Amino acid sequence: MKIGCQETLLPGNSIKEKFKIAKEIGFEGIEVIGRNLLENPENVEEYKKISEDEGIKISSICAGYRNFLLEPELENREKARKDIKKLLEIGSELGVVGLILVPIFGRPQISDLSPYKNAFELEKELLLFQLPELVETAERVKCSILLEPLNRYETHFLNKLEQAVEYCEKINSPYLRIMADFFHMNIEEANIYESIKKAGKWISHVHLADSNRILPGMGHTDFESGFKALKEINFKNYMVLECGVPEPKSENFKKSVKFMKEILKKI
Ligand code: LER
Ligand code: MN
């Protein structure tokens, strides 16, 4: 298991400086923000070069597409699919594990057609209808789509790992996977250890934050049982920090990495 960090959390005034600092702290990967790359594709080469020069990999792309797959307007869904495909291509050039995908934030936007079908049932069908086209690109460019369940205050749609598993099983592609976020799991899963074990076959990426969404070790999440489950499913990919970082940042990052490495040694 490799520990990484989202680029936006890192101190430093340039991409190069951020990568240098990340390396110095002891991170093994950096998650980049999709929107920057989508809007400035000329930066892809720069990221690649800096990553090679500084000896630290780009682990993943976080979101970046400008619309959502479950919007009611055809035009907006088409825009979302176009951006997602472009980001998968960028991800492939950068050699990342995958692109994180949230099908929709907030409440349903499409109409409820009860008693025929409610909005949630229609959304499930709408997602399944669009996934094959996206998975085809993911397979071609060899960059996974990483479905991310979020807590109930951020989305009504995918809240638990087992809900994401449903789509992975139906589509059954090595390039449609799940990312498990400790912050969301801490709110939604009854037992993080059991949930990770059950979804194990599909988990390709992890986000890290403690119960209060600051650095692991600064809240009350039980990382030991979660990391143990990840070890038991033979998870070898990145666990990336997505959380607040209290000052002094570099010092607290190091403390948190030490805290996690000690757990990893123990399990
Ligand atoms: C949002 O809370 C989150 O966890 C992000 O990773 C969404 O892409
Ligand atoms: Mn997350």
Q: How far is CA 227 from CA 46, 194, 224, 251, 260, in A?
A: 34, 12, 5, 23, 9
pLDDT value at residue 61? 98
pLDDT band at 89 (very low <50, low <70, confident <90, very high): very high
> Rounded CA gap, 205 and 179, in Å?
5
Q: Is 63 in the pocket of ligand 1 (CB under 6 A)?
A: yes
Q: Which residues lie below 8 Å from residue 40, measured CB to CB, with a gap of 6+? A: none
Q: How many domains are there within the chain?
A: 1
Note the pLDDT tens digit of each residue in 54-72: 999 999 999 999 999 999 9
pLDDT of residue 248: 97
CA distances from 188 to 65, 73, 156, 163 (A): 25, 30, 12, 11
- Enter the tokens of residue 58: 């780009």
- Using CA positions, which residue lies closest to atom 3 of ligand 1? 150
To test the pocket of ligand 1, the residue of 87, 100, 187 to mutate (highest count of ligand atoms within 8 Å of its CB) is 100
Q: Is the CB of 207 under 6 A from ligand 1?
A: yes
Cα distance between residue 114 and residue 202, in whole Å = 33
Q: What Å distances lie between residue 62 and 14, 43, 50, 220, CA to CA? A: 19, 16, 19, 26
- Residue 48 and residue 20: Cα distance in Å, rounded? 14
**pLDDT value for 235:** 98
Q: What is the pLDDT of residue 251?
A: 96
To test the pocket of ligand 1, the residue of 156, 207, 243 to mutate (highest count of ligand atoms within 8 Å of its CB) is 207
The pLDDT assigned to 160 comes to 98
pLDDT of residue 10: 97
Active site residue 242: yes
**How much of the chain, in percent, has pLDDT values that exceed 90?**
100
Contact criterion met (CB below 8 Å) for 185 and 195: yes
Decide: helix, strand or coil at residue 156.
coil
| pLDDT value of position 176 | 98
Q: 195: domain CATH number?
A: 3.20.20.150
Q: Which of 31, 148, 188, 189 is catalytic?
A: 148
Distance of CA 208 to the CA centre of its chain: 10
Residue 101 confidence class, pLDDT cut points 50, 70, 90: very high
Phi/psi zone of residue 96: left (φ > 0), alpha (ψ -120 to 50 degrees), beta? beta
The yes-or-no answer on residue 148 being catalytic is yes
Atom of ligand 1 nearest to the CA of 154: 2
133-177 pLDDT per residue, tens: 999 999 999 999 999 999 999 999 999 999 999 999 999 999 999
The one catalytic residue among 242, 247, 251, 262: 242
> What pLDDT, on a 0 to 100 scale, did the predictor assign at position 151?
98
pTM: 0.97
Tens digit of each residue's pLDDT (9 = 90 or more) over 38-58: 999 999 999 999 999 999 999
Q: Tell me which residue range forms the domain holding 95.
A: 2-266
For the Cβ of 240 lying below 6 angstroms from any atom of ligand 1, the answer is: no
Average pLDDT over residues 186-202: 98
Q: Is the CB of 179 under 6 A from ligand 1?
A: no
Collapsed DSSP state (helix, strand, coil) of residue 115: coil
